[in-house]
Chains A and B, each alone.
Chain A
């Protein structure tokens, strides 16, 4: 009955205007939040098994250096100096093999084998589940991490030209490599097991315990300085890092510094888009409030009469509050629907490019949407109630 009375003068075009404007704002905000959450792992978590904030440092190989035999290895003093820098958390040394390594793989009658080398970094820098990243001399199985590039080289270069099957990462994980190590007048056959692929480490990585054991058994015994260091830093986007290494003439590899920039830009762009979305939402909120104000103004006499025959301000405000809540809820629901649709189309491309990217859920958009819904509805409720109270006080 009250609704029958109060729905008079409701302007459908105004409410529709609010509805679509708010829907636009909502979709933009939610989609950018969701997109950001979906895409950011591609840049930040390329290698889940390596700690995130590290830089690999080497000395530049120059032409003259090659001829005069200048060493590109790091002395203890160099390392100590890096350790002293404020941006450094810890420094790890790459430990190379001191013996010969051959690796072979046989499949469909084709045998491939090649000279190889291994390197290791301290286990603290590797994040593979400990049970897999473990070497036991009695077992003869070596876990290995290879650069993802190697797999791509094989799949898209070698396999296609030779009519060999392409291998997925999963299959590669099941393939055993035949590893032959020689040195010190001894030889040993072992099995290699690929446990991971790295985008950022340009080396063939094995556990440090293996290198230490094998160097002692088959190595030549001479002490060799490390030529590459892995430096864990507090913040890879810190510009002091780049400056310091440049001054020393060191080179950095690993795309972490670039990823830092990329994520920064992604953050900025997302921030701008979210601001635009929020601006639209705020403006649409303004439209809604104007429309409701107008409605209340037109219905002032009726509202006043209702109050005078004994209706409480809360009761009189309720239909309008419900109206806005229903509208907001619709916007929230449709917004989420639109995000799910849009996400479906871009996730296809994204998971095609980065198989790991599909892990994120719709939760961030849901949470943000819900927060917006609650905040906007609460504001609506309060503002409408205040307006009704003003009518009670005849202001």
Chain B
């Protein structure tokens, strides 16, 4: 998948508004593979909605979203499952980790599906992000910042053309944020993938090709 286009896309909840000032909503926007985007947003401007529309788990929008020129609205379940395994990776704002499982089990449950990363690689990421000692810790007993790092690693355990990071460093210190940027760029370069980061304030230090205001 090479491009994600949004044509006059607008969340249905915004439809009643008279004016919309946004670089994304109700405009023609295209995200291209290999490029890096930052979507800056104030709270309540539909940042998570944007992610969920593109990731295919919400359809309450107007307008059209196209992958490589193909409208995604009528994609069958099978197609979405395939996309989520092979083309789109997502670091959810609410993380969506399994609190009953340990950090490694959370990674493994994804990696079993894709077979993308080996255990050694995962362990290296754990070390670089400073959570190597949390390997066998239940997610429920970790801080949100630690969980964010686990969720980030999980997002890397699959092939992707685009990776979405929904407020990835909201609970991270600058040092860890920097490490995350490094790892993200390494992986994205390896796969030639596009990066789309959202933020409501503090954002990942990356060379953004384009900054959009939501």
Residue numbers of A with Cβ under 8 A of B are 1-2, 4-5, 8, 302, 304-313, 389, 392, 394
Whether A1 and B90, one on each chain, are in contact in the complex, defined by CB atoms closer than 8 angstroms, is no
Known: A310-B110, A310-B114. A5 touches B100 (CB 8 A): yes
Looking at the assembled complex, report how far the CB atom of A295 sits from the nearest CB atom of chain B, in whole angstroms. Answer: 15
B183 contacts the other chain (Cβ, under 8 Å)? no
**Bound form: Cα–Cα A339–B34 in Å:** 68
Q: Which residue of B lies closest to A313 (CB)?
A: B77
Secondary structure at the B interface, as helix, strand, loop or mixed, is: helix
Interface-located stretch among B10-18, B38-46, B78-86, B189-197: B78-86
Q: If A308-B84, A308-B90, A311-B81 touch, does A4 touch B101 (CB 8 Å cutoff)?
A: yes
Chain B proximity of A310: nearest CB distance (Å): 4
A251 to B114, CA, bound (A): 85
> Roughly how many angstroms separate A311 CA and B101 CA in the complex, as a whole number?
17
Nearest chain B CB to A2 CB, angstrom units? 7
Among candidates A4, A302, A312, A394, residue contacting B81 with C-beta atoms closer than 8 Å:
A312
List the 6 closest A-B pairs by CB distance, nearest first.
A310-B84, A310-B85, A312-B81, A305-B96, A1-B109, A309-B110
Q: Assess whether B108 is interfacial by the CB under 8 Å rule.
A: yes
Q: What distance in Å separates the Cβ of A298 from its nearest Cβ neighbour in chain B?
A: 12
Question: Residue on A with the closest CB to B105?
Answer: A1
Specify the chain B residue showing the minimal Cβ separation from A312.
B81
Q: How far is the CA of A305 from the CA of B98 in the complex (A)?
A: 8
CA of A311 to CA of B108 in the docked complex: distance in angstroms?
A: 13
Interface centre among A304, A305, A392, A394 (most CB of B within 10 A): A305
Given contacts A5-B100, A394-B57, contact A309 B112 (CB under 8 A): no
Residues of B within 8 A of A313 (CB): 77, 81
**CA–CA, A308 to B95, complex, Å?**
11
> In the docked arrangement, what's the CA distance between A389 and B80, Å?
13
A219 to B19, CA, bound (A): 122
A304 to B105, CA, bound (A): 17
Inter-chain contact B113/A308, CB cutoff 8 Å: no
Most chain A beta-carbon contacts within 10 A, residue among B90, B96, B105: B96
CA distance in complex: A312, B100 (Å): 21
| A4: chain B residues within 8 A (beta carbon) | 100-101, 105
A127–B81 CA distance with the chains assembled, in angstroms: 68
Which single member of B92, B101, B158 contacts A5 (CB below 8 Å)? B101
Contact of A308 with B55 at beta-carbon distance under 8 Å, contacts A1-B112, A2-B109 already known: yes
A61–B113 CA distance with the chains assembled, in angstroms: 90
User: Counting CB contacts under 8 A, is B154 at the interface?
Assistant: yes
CB pair A310 B158 closer than 8 Å: yes
Is B58's beta carbon under 8 Å from chain A? Answer: yes
Q: A5-B100, A8-B100, A394-B57 are in contact. Are A309 and B154 (CB under 8 A)?
A: yes
Contact of B77 among A302, A392, A394 (CB under 8 A): A392
**Residues of chain B with a CB closer than 8 A to A305's CB:** 96-98
Which residues of chain B are within 8 angstroms of A306 by Cβ–Cβ distance? 109
- CB-CB under 8 A from A302, the residues of chain B are 98
Q: Are A309 and B113 in contact (CB under 8 A)?
A: yes
| Shortest distance between the CB of A318 and any CB in chain B (Å) | 13
- Please give, as numbers and ranges, the residues of chain A lying within 8 Å of B98 by CB-CB distance: 5, 302, 305
- Which chain A positions have C-beta within 8 A of B154? 309
Closest to B86 in A: A310
Given known A-B contacts A308-B90, A309-B84, A310-B158, A394 and B58 have beta carbons under 8 A apart:
yes
**A1 in contact with B158 given A309-B84, A312-B78, A394-B57 (CB within 8 Å):** no
CA distance A312 to B79 in the complex (A): 10
Contact A308 B96 (CB under 8 A): yes
A307 to B96, CA, bound (A): 11
Closest CB-CB distance, A316 to chain B, in whole Å? 10
**Can you name the residue of chain A whose Cβ is closest to the Cβ of B57?**
A308
In the complex, what distance in Å separates the CA atom of A8 from the CA atom of B84?
A: 25
Q: Closest chain A residue to B112 by CB distance?
A: A1
A310 & B100 in contact (Cβ 8 Å cutoff): no
Mask for B61-91, Cβ within 8 A of A = 1, else 0? 0000000000000000110010011000010
CA distance A43 to B100 in the complex (A): 63
Q: Which residue of A lies closest to B157 (CB)?
A: A309
11 contacts between A and B (CB under 8 A): A1-B105, A2-B109, A4-B100, A5-B100, A5-B101, A8-B100, A305-B97, A308-B92, A310-B85, A310-B158, A394-B58
A332 CB to nearest B CB, Å: 32
Chain A residues whose CB sits within 8 angstroms of the CB of B108 once the complex forms: 1
Is the Cβ of B109 less than 8 Å from the Cβ of A309? Answer: yes
